[in-house]
Amino acid sequence: MACSLFVGRADIAFAQQPIIQITEQPNIQVVVQASTWKTRGRLLYDIEGSILKKLSLAGFQVIHDPKKAHQYQLVVQYEEERGAQYGVELWGTTINGTFFLRGGGMAQSIRWEIHETSTNTVSGPAPYLDALLKFETHPHYFFLGAMLKRMTQGVGSQPDALMQAVAEFVYVVYPTIDAAIPQDGVRIQDHFMDNSRRVYQEVALQRALDELVHQDIADETLAPIAERLLESADPHSRVRAVQILGRTHNAAFRKKIEKLATDDPTRAVRQAAKQFFPL
């Protein structure tokens, strides 16, 4: 019921706004409908600001004036619902996000949903932050700007748009901080706080690979991305890469995996590699 109501509101918004073709920097109108179960009714998370930043970094010109003509429109319904109770007057949080994209040149509008629920753990983050972490690292949100860029350029399949977005990320953006060492021998990144994009990128990449495998994208197609992740400093990313590359039976990848089976500093990576080389 909630989904049908949302689509109805989106259609009304589209009917009220003129859609035009733009040949220069693509512009997009963003409509965010946000709500929370918190008693004060105030969002702690700036969902609109986060989306605007992602789209701006992807090369879109964001339109704020609802009366101004635009080429594309993205309607987002973001809901924070009360989750399971884990203490006296303490509850978790479930985040539901519905995205609806439409615009000139697209064969059809595209709609997708994200649902993330917090997990109450003793040593992990607070339930609300846990749900937010899961939402921000969801592949269809972390790579939102890059995915929309491809969808508006004619890529009608979400898995294909995600795959292209991830491929560009690992070759152009990843890693985002240079490893240059100043004269005093101290690395620059040792003295600067990482932004959320870098903090979340490893988890987002791992989840993206899992999503693409789930969508039956061939291991051979994912191989260039996985090969790049063999250089990751995060052992979990290296494990994901080994699992994908090992299934390709490619001789070049086989040599790299064999080396990891003996030389990787992390036991989990060595074990993942040894599965393809029984001793």
| Mean of pLDDT values over 242-268 | 94
Cβ neighbours, 10 Å, residue 248: 19
Output the average pLDDT for the chain: 82
For residues 86 and 34, what is the distance between their CA atoms, to the nearest angstrom?
25
String of DSSP letters for 142-202: HTHHHHHHHHTTT---HHHHHHHHHHHIIIIISS-S-----TTS--GGGGSPPPHHHHHHH
For residues 202 and 232, what is the distance between their CA atoms, to the nearest angstrom?
8
- Tens of pLDDT along 26-83? 999 999 999 998 777 678 899 999 999 999 999 999 988 878 889 999 999 999 999 8
For each of the domains in the chain, give its residue range(s) and CATH number, in order of start: 2-161 (3.30.160), 218-279 (no CATH)
Query: Phi-psi region for residue 212, left (φ > 0), alpha (ψ -120 to 50) or beta?
Result: alpha
- Tens of pLDDT along 216-248? 999 999 999 999 999 898 999 999 999 999 999
Mapping DSSP to helix (H, G, I), strand (E, B) and coil, where does residue 57 land? helix
